[in-house]
Structure 1
């Protein structure tokens, strides 16, 4: 089974433009993410795919691998699908460019889903982490996920889900970490499907799969880390890095 990692990287992020080129402990955020992914030694190849010559040069000039996107893309999965269309691979793991704390343990759990799926019933899998901080649960920049009893995703939202109408019920809240693993065929199928209303409303690409009836296997990890969506996240990341 040939497994690669692709890191989609936009320069002009809406909430924090240029965030991937911000300094984190003496290196850019995107370089930290790339090096952390390579260091897991889980992949046949690790490639940053970007629409930015700045990010491309940052990776290539520091000994890494990068590709320039040909088309404009609304989301990272589309960007990766274009990049892998003609590659001889089985599984592609999408690590977000703003995840400098990417760790081996979590990625191993994700890859194991496919190694154990001998009948090839699972098209894609993703990570979630249990959260208890009320501010984080209510933060629209923190994407939440609810799952069924078999850990397949029921819905993703920027709102707190489930809503605590009955506060005596002990529900667990899970944060969706933007790391996905796809069978190549499923990713290419996704690329051909037009965006529908839920994805457009929440600005969450994973909802496209659910809207088209696909199933997403969620894998729980205990590694929290920091995804860098805002300047405040970057400051938290700097403290954690030290």
Structure 2
């Protein structure tokens, strides 16, 4: 709880993704990726409940075996935030802050989760907070799994893309890009508004949830993390994330 507001952290996860079909249950340093996410989220000082949201029986059986809270959802959702909303409704809708903490972010620690929640509470005119990290332009050019974002002077998102942003139109430049980290607290009102809005043009092209907010004129505040974080979208990412976890925790 923060400022008398109850906080629900939802971890959407499913099997069968086209980029890495079984990634939620792939192990990193001896523990399944989704369990790393659950472990870190559970250390939040604000989270009143942490739950894995999934349509898949294999993930549900995994949660049962390890006593992880879960909610079974429809298999028809096209966006993780829509799955988060179903779990929010299934649990009774009695939370003021809902966090979409995606299941492929095993390196995000509770400190950054809590900073994002604090930012949401402090800024009444924003719909959502989204973490980001800085990445070298060269690295971001070759990885379309990493979602890039450009922001205004107040760090509100202007656009998200899987292509490099900004462009190196005027020749060689040395600069970094802002890369989305999928930890996204929002109010119950903004979550409800998200699911009641139609899918948007650029949201469909880029396959990025946050563009539904941006295209409808709602503010997504980008909050930088300095932590060493690697999202997992393929086997090469898993190997790199495992190396980073071993560095952080030692061998389990």
Could you state the TM-score of these two structures normalised by the residue count of structure 2?
0.90
Distance 2:118 2:44 in 1: 14
Q: CA deviation at 1:133?
A: 5.3
1:105 positional shift? 2.2
Q: Map of 1:149-164 to 2, 5 A cutoff?
A: 149-164=153-168
* Residue 21 (str. 1) matches residue 25 (str. 2): yes
1:207 paired with 2:215, answer no
Given that 1:146 and 1:154 are in contact with CA atoms closer than 8 Å, whether structure 2 keeps it comes out as yes
Q: Deviations over 1:33-57 (max 9, x none)?
A: 1111112333001001101111112
2:119 pairs with 113, 129, 132, which one? 113
Alignment deviations for residues 53-91 of structure 1 (CA, whole Å, 9 cap, x no partner): 111121232111000003510011000111113321110
Q: Which residue does 1:90 correspond to in 2?
A: 96
Partner Cα separation in structure 1 for residue 186 and residue 117 of structure 2: 10
CA contact (8 A) 1:7 1:96 kept: yes
Assess if the C-alpha contact under 8 Å between 1:137 and 1:144 holds in 2: no
- Alignment partners' CA distance in 1, 2:202 and 2:77: 18
Query: Could you tell me which residue of structure 2 aligns to residue 175 of structure 1?
Result: 179
What count of residue pairs does the alignment treat as equivalent?
240
Work out the CA distance in 1 between the residues paired with 2:46 and 2:60. 23
Residues of 2 paired with 1:176 and 1:167: CA distance? 25
Q: Secondary structure at the match of 2:178?
A: strand
In 1, Cα distance between the equivalents of 2:172 and 2:59? 48
Task: Please list, as runs of the form range in 1=range in 2, the aligned pairs for 1:54-73 lying within 5 A after superposition.
Answer: 54-70=58-74, 72-73=76-77
Question: Cα offset for 1:108?
Answer: 2.0
Quick one: distance in 1 between partners of 2:243 and 2:206? Answer: 30
1:19 Cα deviation from its structure 2 partner: 0.6
RMSD: 1.6
Runs of 4+ in 1 over 6 A off after TM superposition: none
Instruction: Label 1:105 to 1:154 Cα distance change in 2 as closer, same or farther (>3 A).
Output: same
Separation of aligned partners in 2, 1:115 and 1:190: 18
What does the per-residue CA deviation read over 1:150-192, in whole Å, with 9 as the maximum and x for residues that have no partner?
0100000011111022357665411111110110111111112
- Alignment gaps of 5+ in structure 1: none
Residue 218 (1) aligns with residue 232 (2): no
| Preserved contact between residue 146 and residue 156 of structure 1 (Cα < 8 Å) | yes
1:93-146 per-position Cα deviation (integer Å, ceiling 9, x unaligned): 1111011112122112211113323xx212111111111251234421111000
TM-score computed with the length of structure 1 as normaliser: 0.93
Q: Give 1:6's aligned residue.
A: 10
